[in-house]
A and B are shown apart, each in its own frame.
Chain A
C-alpha cells in the first residue's frame, strides 16, 4: 500500500499548478486538439520561472508533519522560556493556556505576571505545591469512603477527593472523553482547570502516553488556522489562512502529503468549484430525495390532491389514492366522478379539473426532472471517481507488465500514472460542477460555465477511453504522445473551469450562495 501512496503523492503534488504549455509544443502532432483556440490569456507564455505560479482558485497552505509540529512547539517553548525567564515546563503550560498565542502570552505576562500564573494554575500557594495528603477525618464526596490513611488530593480551590477517585475521574476524562489541557475540578460547578503539574502527579503510567498525545493535539486544535488531515491514519495537519466568513467566495482545497485532497473549510473531500454552503445543501437534498428519485418510473404519478406517489399496477384507469382516498382518472388526472358512465375508457381529456391537475403534475415533474438531470450526472461522476481507484491499480499493474514486455524504464511510463491521476481529479471536479449548476441562476455566466463543463467532460471521456486499450498498444510510443496530450488537455480544461468560477465567486457575482433558489 505504501508504494501506491508514494506513487500517488508524487503525481498529485503537481496538479494545482498551471500546466506548462511549452511542453505542448512538442506534442503539436496530436490531431484531436488545437490548443491555440482555447481562451486562456494567462497561459502559453510562461517559462520555467513562472511555471510554479499558483492559479486563481488556489489557496496557499502548509503541510505540518508530526516532527514539524513538535519542533514548532519546542521552539515556542524555548522562546518563552528565554524571554520570560521561566522553566520550560511552565512555559509549555502557559502557552497551552494561551492557546499557543505567544504574543498575547508575553504581553499579558509582562503586564501582570501574578495574574497570568494564577489563571494557568501555576501560582505558588502559601502551602507550597499541591501534594497527596492524608487528612484525619476526611470523607471523600465521590466514593463516600473515609478511613485511616486515605490519601487525598485537592487543587487550589480546595475541593478534596481521595486519590483513587481522582484517578478514576482523570482516566474517564483522558481515555473516554479525550480531554487533557482543560479538565475541570470534579466538584459540581467548580470551573477551575486542573493544572499540568497536578496532572503529572496524578496521571497513572498507563495513561501517560495518551495524555501527552492529547496535549500535543491541542497545538492543532487550539488554532483556527490548523486542521488535521482527515485521511485515516494520517498524522499531518494543514495550516491555511482562509477564514470562515470567506467560504462563500473561495473554496479552499488543500492537499496533504499523504495525497488526500480535502476542503479546509468543511473537511469534506475536494469539492471545487462548489462553495461549502452549497455542498452542504446539495448533500442534504440528495439524502432527502434519494427515495423519491428511486420511486419515479413510468408507472408512477402523484395524486392530484395530496401529491403522494401512486403506482399503477393494472389496466384500469380508475385510481383511488391510498392516502387521501381521492378518486381520479389515470389518463387525464381528472376527477373520476366527472367520467360519468364511460368506465374504463377515458374520453374526457379536455375537462377542466383534468387540465389543472395535469399542469400541476407537469410542474412538479419538471422540477423533479431538472433535479434528476443534475443528480444523475453528479452520481455518475461520483461513481466513476470511485472506479478511478480501480483504474489506479490496473494502471500500476499495466505499467509493470509494460515494463517487462517492452524494457521501458520506470520513468518512461509515468505518463500513465499522470493520466489516471488527472482522470480522478477531473471527475471529482466535474461531479461538483453538476451540484453547482443545479443552484445556478440562469445568466450569461451560466453559459460560459456550462461550456467549460462540457469541454472538461469531453476531455475526460476521451482520456478515459485510452485506458480501454490493450497493453501492447499502450506501449506504442505514438499512443504515449496521444495520452500525454490528452492528460495535459484535461488538466488544462480543469484549470480553466476552476479559474473562471473562482474569479466569479471572488467577485461575488450572482452566484450560488448569494441567490440560491430553494428547490
Chain B
C-alpha cells in the first residue's frame, strides 16, 4: 500500500481537526503523519476522572485507515493513566474498536477519541483489568499484536 494513501487521509483529518474538535479533545502535536498526540478529558462529573487530563498517543501505519492506528495512553507528571477495567497500567487499551476485527476504515482520530471519552464516562469501576500486573511485567508485544479477548464491550 502506498504511503500516500495514509498521508492523504491524515492530511484531510488534520485540516478538519485544526478547524474544529469536540469539547474535551485537544490536539497536542501532529508534526508528521506517523505519530500524533491528543489530550482528552471527560465532560461529566464522574468522580473517577474529574479534573484530570489524559494523553493519548496515536501511531499510524502506511495502511491507515484500512488498518487501525495503534492507540495508547501515555504517562506524564500531569497526565496519569486513567483507571479502567479495560486499560492496563502501562497505557495499553483493550478495546475491540482498535483491533482488526472491530475496526472500520470509516473511523478516524476524532471518533476514536470520542469513543474513549465515552468509555471513561460510562465507567464506575475503580480497577485495572484482571492480571494487570503480570501483563504489564511480561508483555513485550506491540499493542496491536495482542489478541485481546473482548469479553465485555459495554464497559
Interface magnitude class on chain A: 10 to 19
Contact with B along A166-179 (1 / 0, CB 8 A): 00110110001100
User: Is B119 an interface residue, CB under 8 A from the partner?
Assistant: no
User: Is A143 an interface residue, CB under 8 A from the partner?
Assistant: yes
Known A142-B65, A144-B12, A177-B100; judge A168-B106 contact (CB<8 A).
no
From A168, A189, A190, B5 is in contact (CB under 8 Å) with A168
Known A186-B105, A186-B106, A187-B104; judge A172-B66 contact (CB<8 A).
yes
Contacts of A206 in B (CB 8 A): none
Whether the pair A142, B105 counts as a contact (CB closer than 8 A) is yes
Known A142-B9, A143-B9; judge A189-B1 contact (CB<8 A).
no
A186 CA to B66 CA in the complex, in Å?
9
Whether the pair B105, A165 counts as a contact (CB closer than 8 A) is yes
Chain B contact residues, majority secondary structure: loop
Known A142-B106, A143-B5, A186-B104; judge A169-B66 contact (CB<8 A).
yes
User: Is A188 an interface residue, CB under 8 A from the partner?
Assistant: yes
Minimum distance in angstroms from B7 CB to a CB of chain A: 11
Whether the pair B66, A168 counts as a contact (CB closer than 8 A) is yes
User: Is B52 an interface residue, CB under 8 A from the partner?
Assistant: no
Contacts of A187 in B (CB 8 A): 104, 106
Known A168-B1, A172-B63, A172-B67; judge A189-B12 contact (CB<8 A).
no
Chain A contact residues, majority secondary structure: loop
Whether the pair B8, A143 counts as a contact (CB closer than 8 A) is yes
Minimum distance in angstroms from A126 CB to a CB of chain B: 26
Within 8 A of A (CB), among B61-101: 63, 65-67, 100
Minimum distance in angstroms from B14 CB to a CB of chain A: 11
Q: Which residue of B lies closest to A185 (CB)?
A: B104
Interface magnitude class on chain B: 10 to 19
Contact with A along B1-38 (1 / 0, CB 8 A): 10001001100110000000000000000000000000
Q: Which of A143, A171, A176 has the largest count of B CB atoms less than 10 A from its CB?
A: A143
Minimum distance in angstroms from B145 CB to a CB of chain A: 13
User: Is B126 an interface residue, CB under 8 A from the partner?
Assistant: no
Minimum distance in angstroms from A139 CB to a CB of chain B: 11
User: Is B107 an interface residue, CB under 8 A from the partner?
Assistant: yes
A189 CA to B153 CA in the complex, in Å?
13
Q: Which residue of A lies closest to B16 (CB)?
A: A144
Q: Which residue of B lies closest to A165 (CB)?
A: B105
Known A168-B66, A172-B66; judge A141-B106 contact (CB<8 A).
yes
From A144, A188, A189, B9 is in contact (CB under 8 Å) with A144
Minimum distance in angstroms from A442 CB to a CB of chain B: 35
Q: Which of B5, B13, B106 has the largest count of A CB atoms less than 10 A from its CB?
A: B106
Contacts of B5 in A (CB 8 A): 143, 168
Within 8 A of A (CB), among B93-143: 100, 104-107
Minimum distance in angstroms from A201 CB to a CB of chain B: 19
- 24 A-B pairs with CB atoms under 8 Å apart are A141-B106, A142-B65, A142-B105, A142-B106, A143-B5, A143-B9, A143-B12, A144-B9, A144-B12, A145-B8, A165-B66, A165-B105, A168-B1, A168-B63, A168-B66, A169-B105, A171-B1, A172-B63, A172-B66, A172-B67, A177-B100, A186-B106, A188-B104, A189-B104
A: which residues have CB within 8 A of B? Answer: 141-145, 165, 168-169, 171-172, 176-177, 186-190
Q: 6 new A-B pairs (CB below 8 Å) besides A187-B104, A190-B104? A: A142-B106, A144-B12, A168-B1, A169-B66, A176-B67, A188-B106
> Top 3 A-B pairs ranked by shortest CB distance?
A188-B104, A144-B12, A142-B105
